[in-house]
Chain A
């Protein structure tokens, strides 16, 4: 069999490409919705213009991003039926329910209230307008919850039976599906990672503006009027981003550790593969670096930290952790076939796992260092304290500033860090999905049995080509648009609505009753 052209291979490539691509936008959408909502709340409560400008600025970037997230999401829903029809038939009774709930509970919230938010600046009272973006945010969180409950069921099926007559999975307990520990921990991990992503995005773009202004000052030049007026919004954003990065980064680490422990129990193969741990060991070491030889079933090069893997799996440094070869033999005995059939790609899982942790934690550490060094008052000698609209000097200790070299690199890392969580998220999903192979639904249905039998290779190849090309073009368009708006910074000429718009009750009259100057006024926002 020519493996490269097996229909399953093409369908998997398509799923991988469209899903990783979709998930570039999802975490930014989740976190930017909430952070924009927080900034708008700050504006509504304090009336400070810097929060208004920050809301508008991040809101704009959020909208460029969510447009892509929404449209690439439709593909996700359709392709279960298109490429994986046997999977859909087998799991529909269980898996379809959270998907339908996601549409009904989450997508309507998101799509309806985003429309109100975009177009409603001069139509809705401030507080209601602000509530709209909070509802969008709630929608994004609900959406992630339902889709992760569905995914968790594929990782660890629960609350079902397999019907004897039809051979299909049948839901017996929706509550078990929605509240099993896999779901809860995965939701926690994904949401914290999403917030780390958005925070790093904000830190990166704020740093870009602040470092640009700072360099100008260092060269002895005056900031121009526009830059000066943008500073307060960018400074506030930087601090918000850093705080969120630290909290979310910590949450990601904690939830990641819990998720690891759940996975050691539910999918030992995935975790053994993540560590390239070929043989069962007690105590088991954590592998820092390894080059494995799948054919021979062991690693040819390895650097280890003794006992750490036992700790990650069981919270003690001595307990045994099962290895790849033992688990594969056990699964082969249980489900039939050769042990090799049950070993996922060790290269992808091992390195995916490390890239996920490495890039994610780099952003967390960068956030923590940034939060400390950009403080304005806390533990600083009086002469080093700064006002609200001064570009921070990076203070290491009470009265010691970073040198020019470190300062330059700190800002640069601050800018670069915006891309790191995106890489971490992608590899996290690649790891978790490839680590489950050969299973589509763990222990119940193999990926090879899940594809659409009636769909030809030519059709899958067509759609794979079309989506890849379309997504590549859209990526270029999107990134360039984001860059344009990110570089431009907040539009400080824009003023908040002068008077708070009032909702008129239906009895108060129709649009025709509005004062004439109101009826002819151009829309504040139009496509």
Chain B
């Protein structure tokens, strides 16, 4: 395996890990309006991800940083090409982060309500836009011989891309509902289960539709099994959710996210950003990669640090393993 192939794999892992983790964070954000009945329930949901959302988001920073280091051209074309959608994602991530930290710091009704709107919209919009972005990456966008994106915003909003956005939004919401059922007690836990059952069916339809379309447009022999795993895992998650096996349901909804993104990356490889104008202008793992020296250094760092990071992040989830319900929420201060 070439180093640049290995780094393609690693970046795929980082993005997939990001969507596995922040996927349910975004889902929880959407559920604060879709599921919670009152402010206390909203706080229950927010506090299920309270100690962990920030570290989950660092997976994005790491994925982007690793792309910059390992495939500078991929990073440059992607970030300058998808300018306005990424601007919207940035604004949402800024407002959402501040909203989590500041919402409870004043007791005024308007203050709290505004931050709650912010948490909902700023979870929903990135959950949608990431799907749009990855659909475009996989299917290809207009890229010229100078490796620059030379399309416009309209090129990024094709029906296929919009379907991709809808899929990630609904899939993350489902993943979030399964997470909420796993992490809460009381009434909200059972409503989260019921919500997961309903949203899971929609997510299933969208998963099949979008992944099959992807397979038809850009798929190959490697991506097909991942597609099958994604669909099977989603079906399994629904069954486990129905049976009240919340841990299994969460593992399988997570596997759905992982398999769906694995399928996209498998369909993408060995390109990193195909050009829809001319296949010769596509960015590939070879023509977009950094030098072997840089990749080697980064391999050492990633090889040592990734297990450490995974270990202490997993430990955090263990420390905060206790379910929470409305009775655990202290009075507003």
- A81 touches which one: B76, B94, B294, B330 (CB < 8 A)? B76
* A67 close to B330 (CB less than 8 A): no
Q: Can you show 18 pairs from A to B with CB atoms below 8 A apart?
A: A64-B105, A68-B98, A73-B61, A77-B65, A78-B79, A80-B75, A92-B73, A103-B61, A108-B55, A108-B62, A112-B54, A112-B316, A118-B51, A462-B87, A466-B91, A520-B327, A527-B46, A527-B50
Q: Which of B295-318 contact A (CB under 8 A)?
A: 297-298, 301-302, 305-306, 309, 312-313, 316, 318
What are the residues of chain B within 8 A of A118 when measuring CB–CB? 50-51
- B68 touches which one: A71, A73, A100, A511 (CB < 8 A)? A100
* A108 close to B58 (CB less than 8 A): yes
- B290 touches which one: A74, A80, A93 (CB < 8 A)? A93
Q: Which of A468-485 contact B (CB under 8 A)?
A: 470, 474, 477, 481, 484-485
B323 to chain A, nearest CB (A): 7
What are the residues of chain A within 8 A of B213 when measuring CB–CB? none
Also in contact, A92 and B75, with CB within 8 A (given A72-B94, A171-B294):
yes
Range for the number of chain A residues in contact with chain B = 35 or more
Look across to chain B and name the residue whose beta carbon is closest to the beta carbon of A70.
B97
B43 to chain A, nearest CB (A): 6
Q: Answer yes or no: B147 CB below 8 A from chain A CBs.
A: yes
Complex Cα–Cα for A163 and B80 (A): 24
Q: Interface readout for B217-246 with A: 1 if CB under 8 Å, 0 if not?
A: 000000000000000000000000000000
Q: Answer yes or no: A526 CB below 8 A from chain B CBs.
A: yes
Look across to chain A and name the residue whose beta carbon is closest to the beta carbon of B330.
A522
- A171 touches which one: B68, B297, B302, B313 (CB < 8 A)? B297
B186 to chain A, nearest CB (A): 11
Also in contact, A96 and B65, with CB within 8 A (given A119-B51, A481-B105):
yes
* A88 close to B72 (CB less than 8 A): yes
Look across to chain B and name the residue whose beta carbon is closest to the beta carbon of A128.
B319
Q: Interface readout for B181-207 with A: 1 if CB under 8 Å, 0 if not?
A: 000000000000000000000000000
New contact pairs (11) apart from A462-B84, A522-B329, A527-B50, CB-CB < 8 Å: A63-B101, A71-B97, A92-B68, A100-B65, A100-B70, A103-B64, A115-B55, A118-B50, A120-B319, A470-B91, A506-B318
Q: Answer yes or no: A332 CB below 8 A from chain B CBs.
A: no
- B97 touches which one: A67, A82, A93 (CB < 8 A)? A67
- A89 touches which one: B54, B76, B90, B328 (CB < 8 A)? B76
What are the residues of chain B within 8 A of A170 when measuring CB–CB? 291, 293-294
Complex Cα–Cα for A110 and B91 (A): 22
Also in contact, A526 and B330, with CB within 8 A (given A97-B297, A97-B298):
yes
* A511 close to B298 (CB less than 8 A): no
* A85 close to B61 (CB less than 8 A): no
* A104 close to B309 (CB less than 8 A): yes
- A88 touches which one: B46, B62, B68, B313 (CB < 8 A)? B68
Q: Answer yes or no: B113 CB below 8 A from chain A CBs.
A: no
Q: Which of B238-260 contact A (CB under 8 A)?
A: none
What are the residues of chain A within 8 A of B101 when measuring CB–CB? 63-64, 67, 527
Stretch at the interface among A292-300, A315-323, A447-455: A447-455
Q: Which of A132-155 contact B (CB under 8 A)?
A: none
* A454 close to B66 (CB less than 8 A): no
Query: Which of B43, B61, B101, B321 has the largest count of A CB atoms less than 10 A from its CB?
Result: B61
* B72 close to A93 (CB less than 8 A): yes
What are the residues of chain A within 8 A of B6 when measuring CB–CB? none
Q: Answer yes or no: B274 CB below 8 A from chain A CBs.
A: no
- A116 touches which one: B65, B319, B328 (CB < 8 A)? B319
Contact surface of B with A, Cβ cutoff 8 Å: 43, 46-47, 50-55, 57-58, 60-62, 64-66, 68-73, 75-81, 83-84, 86-87, 90-91, 93-95, 97-98, 100-106, 146-150, 290-291, 293-294, 297-298, 301-302, 305-306, 309, 312-313, 316, 318-324, 327-330
Also in contact, A99 and B148, with CB within 8 A (given A523-B329, A526-B328):
no
A13 to chain B, nearest CB (A): 16
Look across to chain A and name the residue whose beta carbon is closest to the beta carbon of B87.
A463
Contact surface of A with B, Cβ cutoff 8 Å: 63-64, 67-68, 70-75, 77-78, 80-83, 85-86, 88-89, 91-97, 99-105, 107-108, 111-116, 118-120, 123-124, 163, 168, 170-172, 174, 452-455, 459, 462-463, 466, 470, 474, 477, 481, 484-485, 503, 506, 510-511, 514, 519-527
Complex Cα–Cα for A83 and B79 (A): 8
Query: Which of B55, B73, B147 has the largest count of A CB atoms less than 10 A from its CB?
Result: B55
* B68 close to A454 (CB less than 8 A): no
Complex Cα–Cα for A511 and B66 (A): 37
* A82 close to B79 (CB less than 8 A): yes
Complex Cα–Cα for A43 and B73 (A): 51
Complex Cα–Cα for A418 and B238 (A): 56
- Majority secondary structure, A binding face: helix
Also in contact, A103 and B329, with CB within 8 A (given A78-B90, A81-B78, A86-B76):
no
B319 to chain A, nearest CB (A): 6
* B149 close to A523 (CB less than 8 A): no
Complex Cα–Cα for A115 and B76 (A): 32
* B43 close to A112 (CB less than 8 A): no
What are the residues of chain B within 8 A of A484 when measuring CB–CB? 105-106
**Nearest 3 interchain pairs by C-beta:** A92-B72, A81-B79, A96-B69
B157 to chain A, nearest CB (A): 15
Complex Cα–Cα for A92 and B103 (A): 38
What are the residues of chain B within 8 A of A102 when measuring CB–CB? 65
Also in contact, A115 and B52, with CB within 8 A (given A70-B97, A88-B75, A170-B291):
yes
Look across to chain B and name the residue whose beta carbon is closest to the beta carbon of A453.
B148
What are the residues of chain B within 8 A of A77 when measuring CB–CB? 61, 64-65, 68
* A88 close to B319 (CB less than 8 A): no
Complex Cα–Cα for A72 and B81 (A): 21
What are the residues of chain B within 8 A of A82 when measuring CB–CB? 79-80, 83, 86-87
Also in contact, A119 and B76, with CB within 8 A (given A93-B294, A111-B58):
no
Complex Cα–Cα for A469 and B330 (A): 35
What are the residues of chain B within 8 A of A92 when measuring CB–CB? 68-69, 71-73, 75-76, 290
* A112 close to B55 (CB less than 8 A): yes
* A107 close to B58 (CB less than 8 A): yes
Complex Cα–Cα for A111 and B61 (A): 11
What are the residues of chain B within 8 A of A503 when measuring CB–CB? 319
* A455 close to B305 (CB less than 8 A): no
- B147 touches which one: A89, A104, A114, A172 (CB < 8 A)? A89
* B72 close to A111 (CB less than 8 A): no
Also in contact, A115 and B68, with CB within 8 A (given A97-B297, A481-B105, A522-B329):
no
- B51 touches which one: A67, A95, A116 (CB < 8 A)? A116
What are the residues of chain A within 8 A of B66 when measuring CB–CB? 100, 103-104
What are the residues of chain B within 8 A of A525 when measuring CB–CB? 330
* B312 close to A526 (CB less than 8 A): no
A509 to chain B, nearest CB (A): 11
* A115 close to B65 (CB less than 8 A): no
Also in contact, A523 and B330, with CB within 8 A (given A80-B68, A96-B68, A454-B150):
yes
Complex Cα–Cα for A511 and B326 (A): 17
Complex Cα–Cα for A92 and B288 (A): 10
- B69 touches which one: A97, A107, A112, A462 (CB < 8 A)? A97
* A455 close to B50 (CB less than 8 A): no
